[in-house]
């Protein structure tokens, strides 16, 4: 019994605070137990065969296509093969994403596309440690009850399910200016998401919110220069190649209006695609939240969070990297006598499944860049599109938007996309006599879009791998089928109506 009690205590902080267990749609008494869902129907023999035959056929096509180009080196061919097989299995099967990534990374090493040390060193990447620190921070926010307070603020301002989606969006956009990590912002919102979905207890609402949070996190990334590490990579490459740069203030002028518009449109589209009109209008019964002063643990958590955000926002001044700041905050939050949760609870708050996936996916993404496979793909795409031979600025804008918006399909790492694509678009700008600053910024807007596959973004993966059922790959593809062309139109509209009048003309 002692061991059972210990485990229960360890995971108690994962539950929302008691006052929010009463947050229910109108019509269900507070504290009432939701009806047990019916078990899913058993799949027939034909469906099971289709679940095997289709992935096998797609893998076979990938194997054949990778063998055709004669200009590819063996290691680049191996990188393309491993990545192609991973994409097929991620999108056509229910195999765990982390297992697929790890299996394909092992296969990549066996084929000679990467070294054994690359696989082991991937878990030492800064993004892995950033995620560990961000998860511990999210655990502290849940354990101290700050998540409940944040949910209460949201709850007091909404009256319907549809209003809740807009309130969540309004909370997420400002975070892009404060927390320079998509996975960090997604992790900080986990307590709010968990409290709302468990309280509302509706499959459609859970799916919509599980899509909304990471999607808004991603499309609002463009708001600020420090919204993602890839932005800094892009600006550094721009400065090295041309001597020009984009200041923090100029990025805000160009990025904030686009990020706000993209977030609002994404919220509207998700509400229409995944929530019925009646469900959006469903009133919420929100009991008044308990008003009490902040206790010591909450005050310490707020202080540590504020210091972390301040250090994240001023990295260029003090030189402390984002991952180091996140880890330092995790150490303080779990320190004996000072922290707000025990070390074991802090470790339990980390999604180790996601950590393994990120490490393995980094191997696949870095292999594409290191072997030249990514550069080979980009070159073929530029040649196929004919962008280098056109004289129409509008056509260049549309093709550039399309190429960068779809780049996440063959390069899952955000940093890898910036490292591979920015030199290519700078070369394009030089050949067509275009403004390199405008080309890099517009390319970055496209590279920030990574909504088709969960594996293209750690934020999407985080919410797809939660304990409760969230969204399926088909849901994400359906959403991206709408949002991708919308983003193309949005880029054209902002260029014609705002960017070229504020100093960013091609």
The predicted structure's pLDDT at residue 30? 42
Domain-embedded: residue 13: no
Of the candidates 174, 369, 169, 155, the residue with the CA atom closest to the CA atom of residue 269: 169
CA dihedral 466, 471, 473, 479 (to 10 degrees): -130
Q: Which has the higher per-residue pLDDT, 153 or 112? A: 112
Confidence band of 19 (pLDDT split at 50, 70, 90): very low
Domain-embedded: residue 493: no
Phi, psi of 25, deg, nearest 5: -60, 150
pLDDT per residue as tens digits for the range 278-290? 888 877 665 555 6
Which of 37-41, 353-357, 412-416 is the least confident region? 37-41
What's the whole-number average pLDDT of the chain? Answer: 77
Residue 278's domain spans which residues?
125-227+248-353
Measured distance CA(435)–CA(441) in Å, rounded: 10
Q: Does the structure show a pLDDT above 80 at 493?
A: yes
Domain-embedded: residue 193: yes
Beta bridge partners of 285: 24
Domain-embedded: residue 310: yes
The predicted structure's pLDDT at residue 18? 38
Whole-prediction pTM? 0.66
Domain-embedded: residue 344: yes
Confidence band of 71 (pLDDT split at 50, 70, 90): confident
Domain-embedded: residue 216: yes
CA dihedral 476, 481, 484, 489 (to 10 degrees): -150
Of the candidates 170, 183, 85, the residue with the CA atom closest to the CA atom of residue 450: 183
Which of 108-112, 114-118, 207-211, 300-304 is the least confident region? 114-118
The predicted structure's pLDDT at residue 45? 54
Contact 187, 138 (CB under 8 A): yes
pLDDT per residue as tens digits for the range 83-123? 888 878 876 777 877 788 889 889 989 988 888 888 888 77
The predicted structure's pLDDT at residue 17? 40
Measured distance CA(461)–CA(183) in Å, rounded: 9
233's CB contacts (< 8 A; 6+ apart) are 415, 418, 419, 422
| Number of domains forming the structure of the chain | 1
Domain-embedded: residue 425: no
């Amino acid at each position: 019994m002692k061991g059972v009690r210990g485990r229960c205590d360890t995971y108690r902080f994962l539950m929302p605070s008691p006052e929010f267990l009463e947050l229910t749609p109108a019509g269900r008494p507070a504290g009432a137990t939701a009806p047990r869902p019916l078990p899913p129907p058993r799949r027939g023999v034909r469906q099971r065969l289709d679940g095997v035959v289709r992935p096998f056929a797609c893998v076979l096509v990938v194997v054949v296509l990778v063998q055709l180009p004669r200009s590819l080196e063996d290691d680049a061919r191996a990188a393309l093969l491993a990545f192609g097989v991973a994409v097929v299995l991620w999108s056509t099967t229910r195999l765990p994403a982390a297992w697929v990534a790890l299996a394909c990374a092992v296969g990549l090493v066996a084929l000679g596309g990467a070294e054994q040390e690359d696989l082991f060193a991937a878990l030492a990447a800064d993004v892995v440690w950033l995620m560990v620190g961000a998860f511990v921070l999210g655990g502290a926010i849940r354990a101290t009850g700050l998540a409940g307070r944040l949910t209460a603020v949201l709850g007091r301002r909404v009256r319907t399910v549809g209003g809740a989606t807009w309130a969540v969006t309004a909370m997420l956009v400002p975070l892009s200016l404060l927390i320079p990590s998509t996975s960090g912002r997604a992790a900080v919102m986990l307590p709010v998401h968990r409290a709302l979905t468990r309280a509302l207890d509706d499959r459609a609402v859970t799916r919509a919110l599980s899509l909304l949070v990471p999607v808004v996190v991603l499309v609002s990334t463009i708001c600020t220069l420090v919204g993602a590490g890839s932005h800094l990579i892009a600006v550094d490459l721009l400065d090295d190649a041309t001597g020009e740069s984009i200041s923090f203030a100029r990025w805000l002028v160009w990025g904030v209006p686009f990020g706000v518009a993209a977030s609002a449109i994404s919220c509207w589209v998700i509400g229409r695609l995944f929530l019925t009109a009646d469900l959006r209008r469903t009133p919420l019964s929100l009991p008044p939240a308990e008003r009490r002063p902040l206790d010591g643990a909450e005050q310490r958590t707020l202080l540590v969070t504020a210091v972390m955000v301040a250090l994240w926002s001023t990295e260029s001044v003090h030189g402390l990297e984002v991952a180091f700041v996140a880890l330092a905050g995790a150490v303080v939050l779990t320190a004996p006598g000072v922290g707000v949760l025990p070390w074991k609870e802090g470790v339990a708050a980390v999604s180790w499944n996601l950590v393994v996936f990120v490490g393995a996916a980094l191997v696949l993404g870095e292999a594409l860049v290191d072997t030249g496979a990514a550069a080979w793909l980009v070159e073929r795409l530029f040649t196929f599109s004919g962008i280098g031979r056109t004289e129409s600025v509008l056509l260049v804008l549309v093709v550039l938007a399309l190429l960068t918006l779809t780049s996440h399909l063959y390069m899952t790492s955000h940093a890898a996309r910036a490292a591979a694509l920015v030199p290519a678009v700078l070369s394009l700008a030089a050949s067509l006599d275009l403004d390199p600053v405008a080309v890099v910024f517009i390319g970055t807007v496209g590279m920030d879009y990574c909504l088709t596959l969960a594996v293209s973004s750690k934020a999407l993966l985080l919410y797809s791998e939660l304990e409760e059922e969230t969204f399926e790959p088909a849901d994400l593809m359906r959403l991206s089928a709408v949002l991708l062309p919308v983003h193309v139109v949005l880029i054209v509209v902002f260029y014609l109506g705002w960017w070229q009048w504020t100093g960013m003309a091609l």
